[in-house]
Amino acid sequence: MSHLSEIVGVYGAYEFLQELEASSKTAYPVDELVEIMTRYSASDPQATIEDFVAASILHRDGEQFGLTVLGIKTYYLLDAINGGDIRDVYRRLSRLDSTLRTYELIREGMTKAFLQNINERPGFSRLYFCSPWISLDRKQQEMLTHAVIRVEKARGVQPEILVITRPEEGTIETIPKTLKPFQDLGASIFLNRRLHTKLYIREPDRSGGYIMAIVGSQNLTKSNYLELGIRINSDNQVIDHLIAYFWEITNYSHEV
């Protein structure tokens, strides 16, 4: 199979993708795609379309075809190569990939958002959980366990898990029973009766990678309340300050 750069480098490919991306239509019969490709003087429109499908630039939906997300991204990058405004290209890419947006509001489901993130992008070496109350349902427990085991298998080393929470109600040093899933994964647990911060961070290993934090109003639970938080993507300076703050709280907490 040809490289993607060869497939999109054929004559007329850029203009073809440009027309599809700008159109309000989401699917085309193959004859119409051939007609569009022919209009831009492609030497073998049918073969080029087949290559686009094989490269996942186009996807088949019954008897019709449409641009995939990869196809749209490919067009945006070709647009930049062909002299398009880099800032505009970045903005358009940001609409497709949330990790390109440095700051995002999360209006609900912060626990779910964090657990989904570490499953979808498992390249982390350390997880930080700071929440006064922690209570994951069975599905959330499975998501956490799956993400950690997946990283352990890939790296050969179990990622470090750090948890700060309040002790069991009415006690000073008793770990809440709801933390058992974290204990089973070897988490380091710190207890602080004055804790009110809700902060969740994923940290990549030394080889680099995606760093992300969520800070907001929701405890690490399945909340039924109206919540608001912010997700911070790849802002190392801000997240380094949040990590430092996490460690500062541990200085006033009791490790168990």
How confident is the prediction along the chain (256 residues), in pLDDT tens digits per residue? 567 778 888 888 999 999 998 888 888 999 999 999 999 988 899 999 999 998 889 998 788 998 888 888 888 888 888 888 888 887 787 777 666 678 888 887 899 999 999 998 888 999 999 999 999 999 999 999 999 999 998 888 899 999 999 999 988 889 999 999 999 999 999 999 999 999 999 998 766 678 999 999 999 998 778 889 999 988 888 999 999 999 999 999 999 9
Residue type, 28: Y
CATH of the domain at 225: 3.30.870.10
Q: What is the pLDDT of residue 98?
A: 61
Q: What is the pLDDT of residue 205?
A: 75
A 10 A CB-CB count for 80 gives 17
Which of 96, 120, 147 marks a domain boundary? 96
Task: Assign residue 244 a region (left: φ > 0; alpha: ψ between -120 and 50; beta: otherwise).
Answer: alpha
Which of 68, 96, 124 marks a domain boundary? 96
Same domain, 241 and 171: yes
**Pairing relationship of beta strands 229-233 and 64-67 according to DSSP bridges:** unpaired
Distance (Å, rounded) from C-alpha 68 to C-alpha 120? 19
Q: How many domains, in total, are found in the chain?
A: 2
Same domain, 73 and 157: no
Q: What is the pLDDT of residue 110?
A: 92
Same domain, 147 and 85: no
Same domain, 80 and 107: no
Same domain, 23 and 57: yes
Q: Which strand (E) or helix (H) includes residue 45?
A: helix 45-54
Joined tokens for residue 18: 């440009």
Domain that holds residue 38: 4-96
Distance (Å, rounded) from C-alpha 22 to C-alpha 29? 17
Question: What is the dihedral angle through the alpha carbons of 236, 239, 243, 246, rounded to the nearest 10 degrees?
Answer: 180
A 10 A CB-CB count for 42 gives 20
Same domain, 90 and 167: no
Same domain, 62 and 111: no
Which of 36, 61, 96 marks a domain boundary? 96
Distance (Å, rounded) from C-alpha 210 to C-alpha 217? 23
pTM of the complete model: 0.66
Same domain, 185 and 218: yes
Same domain, 126 and 234: yes
Distance of CA 42 to the CA centre of its chain: 37
